[in-house]
Amino acid sequence: MSRPLFLVDALPSGEEFVLDGPEGRHAATVQRLSAGEELLLADGRGGTAEAVVTAAGKSALTLTIRARAYEPAPDPRLVVVQGIAKGDRGELAVQAMTEVGVDEIVPWAATRSVSRWRAERGGKARERWVSTAREAAKQSRRAWCPVVGGDPDASTATVATRLRAAAAAFVLHEEAVTPLATAPLPARGDVLVVVGPEGGITPEELTAFADAGAMAVRLGSSVLRTSTAGVAALSVLSARLGRWGSTSDGAQA
């Protein structure tokens, strides 16, 4: 079994460290780690530390730091613009996309989004996405936590601005001709993928994104749910960009 990972605000500079707070309680009372067991600490920004438990309390662990490492930020970055979905489908999408390696998630208030994030409700919904991404990053042992967009819900105009600035931009659409598996990819910069809500992307939104330089692409012959389409797209891109150990077959300078 791989060593569990716990997130901290900053990695310890010394050789001894006390893991307390919510992470310490989880490690001590839920995972029941004891003296002699190993774990990983991460700051969510690429820094990691290998540690061994020297003493376990009721809600904290005393650790000895054995080694430190830093993982550079991924480049190209994978960014998913996720149409806001009803119920828990958005959180399911965030969880799965984090596990397969998304670097940034932008909540998008699409025309056909049934759920609307407004005022305090929007802030709380975004925080649930942040929490979900954090927990999924821990479970998948990621050195980098994905960023969840700063706006509670980005407008179509805001998304179009992001698309214009991206190194490559794609919109998943069932009527597209070009497969994502063969679309040209950049060697560096942001690769954006737009995923529509349950009701799909409107013709007006598709036109706005095309005008911003995005290419409409498809994953296959079947139509995926909003909670799984982003995961499938990230899987294709991760394999093509060599993130999963394969040689990049589509990157272009």
Sort 235 into a burial class: Cβ within 10 Å, 0-12 / 13-18 / 19+: middle
Task: Report how far residue 230's alpha carbon sits from residue 227's, in angstroms, rounded to the nearest whole number.
Answer: 7
Q: Which residue has the higher pLDDT, 121 or 24?
A: 24
Task: Report how far residue 27's alpha carbon sits from residue 48's, in angstroms, rounded to the nearest whole number.
Answer: 17
**Beta bridge partner(s), residue 28:** none
The tokens for 221 are 């012959």
The mean pLDDT value for 205-217 works out to 97
Sort 247 into a burial class: Cβ within 10 Å, 0-12 / 13-18 / 19+: exposed
pLDDT at 204 over 80: yes
Q: Which of 233, 229, 248, 105 is nearest to 185 (CA)?
A: 248
- 65: Cβ contacts below 8 Å, ≥ 6 apart: 12, 14, 15, 16, 17, 41, 49, 50, 51
Torsion of CA 205, 207, 208, 210, to 10 degrees: 120
Q: What is the pLDDT of residue 247?
A: 40
Report the side by side order of strands in the sheet with 61-70: 5-7, 38-42, 47-56, 61-70, 16-19
Render pLDDT for 98-128 as a digit per residue (tens, 0 to 9): 999 999 999 998 998 877 777 677 788 889 9
Residue whose structure tokens are 């150990």 = 245
pLDDT at 155 over 70: yes
pLDDT at 208 over 80: yes
pLDDT at 253 over 50: no
pLDDT at 249 over 60: no
The tokens for 5 are 């990972």
Mean pLDDT of the chain: 91
pLDDT at 221 over 90: no
Q: What is the pLDDT of residue 115?
A: 79
Q: What is the pLDDT of residue 153?
A: 67
